[in-house]
Structure 1
Amino acid sequence: MNIYLLVRIKFILGILVMILQIHILGKYEFSINTPLNQIQNYVLGGIIGGVIYNTSISILTFLIFILVWSLVVIIVKLMINIKFIKSLVVGNPVVLIRNGVVNVANCAKVGLSAEQLMLHIRMEGLTSTKEVKSAIMETNGKLTIIDMQSATPKFPIISNGKLNQDILELIGHNETWLLTYIKEQGIESIQDVFLGEYVNGELYITEYPKVK
């Protein structure tokens, strides 16, 4: 087979597999920066870039390579709701400041210096850590800061059936209060809640559709 035709076919197959991954996993997964997405892009780019010009590797072998890697990524994505897998692959939000008290160990853990922390605080229009109710490093590396005057946290209390204990503590409530509230709404468990938002002292619940 002509070398240029071989390269063209491999390139087209690589693009088609990437499009297939986007359709299966969803566009949002490819728009965020997580450790898994970085590894996925590096490996897929290495497979396509390293193999596409190698004439000793057949089209069938190339196709098997990229399909096996795509299968691995899809399996991990499907398992991402398992707490251990999510913590290992995506990571968890890290609380850097709570009620004006800086957690130095967590700052060191995420590689944030005192100067960088204060820069983020100043960018929010604040002048001191004492004005910060909560500063949380998200899994994509962005820092979300909530000031002491804020009545509405910037994170949900419940997301995808998982309780955010840190936010619950920030609003001054406990799990018993939360469970009592959702049961009053006719919801049996936190796992049945898609999204729980606390806005201006009110809790708004969006539950998963009930299976008929």
Structure 2
Amino acid sequence: MDIDYFELFVKLALGFAAFVLQISLAGRGNLAPSNAIDQLQNFVLGGIIGGILYNPSITTLQFFIVLLIWSTIVFGARFLANHNNLARRILIGQPHTIVHNGKIDTDFATRAGISAQELAFQLRQHGASNLEKVKRAVLETNGTLTVTLQNDPTAYYPVILDGQVDEDALDIIHRDRDWLDTQLESHHIEMSHVYMAIYQDNQLQITQY
């Protein structure tokens, strides 16, 4: 099979440009994927470039259009996830507390496919040899476990992320949405303007966009 090296070069350049563009516009999180969109973006983009690169029946223009379509889908999904709670839960998921004050949420663990052996291993890795010492263990969207031990002076709770409330974190600190709204009103800040709000040492630390 004869290979048109010039066309191969152009396709490689387009693939490289698409990858760099997606990283630049979407942030560098997809270099260390933290959710399903990051992982899927890399897998599919690699498959598109690898599958089309040596296929002479697919022209450079068709290759460019496929890259454009995939980039549009990725950025559209990211936009929805960042601006709509329902879309975020569907596309990315959300962190979930699997252990609270030494009590395991077995229903969630079963739904998430986490065995007792796997959970115990993850807790031991975080220095939690005694379940009663675990104040909170959160299963993150990338499948890792974040563990907070009892009486940990460095513990903090993100109650707002990207302008969206973490109801689970509010429940952990024994606060509700009315309390949070009052706190924001006292600072004359709208929810949509909050990049991150962290509750630590009985204080709410707010960072705006």
**For structure 1, which runs of at least 5 residues remain unmatched after alignment?**
none
Assess if the C-alpha contact under 8 Å between 1:152 and 1:201 holds in 2: no
1:131-150 correspondence to structure 2 within 5 Å: 131-150=133-152
Residue identity opposite 1:133 in structure 2:
K
2:79 corresponds to 1:49: no
Q: CA deviation at 1:152?
A: 5.2
Counterpart in the other structure of 2:104: 102
* Separation of aligned partners in 1, 2:154 and 2:169: 10
Distance of aligned partners of 1:29 and 1:42 in 2 relative to their CA distance in 1, 3 Å threshold: closer
Aligned residues: 207
Deviation at 1:130, TM superposition (A): 1.7
- Alpha-carbon shift at residue 120 of structure 1 (Å): 1.9
Task: Please tell me the residue identity of whatever aligns with 2:162.
Answer: N
Task: State the secondary structure of the residue aligned to 1:141.
Answer: coil
Q: Structure 1 residues 49, 2: CA separation in 2 closer, same or farther (over 3 Å shift)?
A: closer
Residue 26, structure 1, aligned to residue 27, structure 2: yes
Structure 2 residues without counterparts, runs of 5 or longer? none
TM-score scaled by length of structure 2: 0.90
What is the CA-CA distance between 1:2 and the residue it aligns to? 5.8
Q: Determine the C-alpha separation between the residues in 1 that align with 2:115 and 2:3.
A: 56
Could you tell me which residue of structure 2 aligns to residue 163 of structure 1? 165
TM-score normalized by structure 1?
0.89
Conserved 8 A contact 1:10-1:59: yes
* 1:184 maps to amino acid: S
Deviates more, 1:131-140 or 1:102-111: 102-111
1-side partners of 2:165 and 2:153: how far apart?
Answer: 19
Partner of 2:92: 90
Q: CA 1:89–1:80 in 2, change beyond 3 Å: closer, same or farther? A: same
Over residues 142-168 of structure 1, what are the superposed CA-to-partner deviations in whole Å (9 max), with x where a residue is unaligned?
A: 101111213554441111221112212
4+ residue stretches of structure 1 with deviation over 6 A?
A: none
Report how far residue 170 of structure 1 moved. Answer: 1.6
On the 8 A contact 1:152/1:198 being kept in 2, the answer is no
Which residue is equivalent to 1:111? 113
Does 1:37 find its partner at 2:38? yes
| 1:56-86 CA-partner distances (Å, limit 9, x unpaired) | 2111111111111111111111111211211
Name the SS for the 1:7 alignment partner.
helix
CA contact (8 A) 1:151 1:199 kept: no
* Equivalent residue, structure 1, for 2:69: 68
Q: Which moved more, 1:120-129 or 1:41-50?
A: 120-129
SS at match of 2:151: coil
- In structure 2, the partner of 1:127 is 129
AA matched with 2:25: I
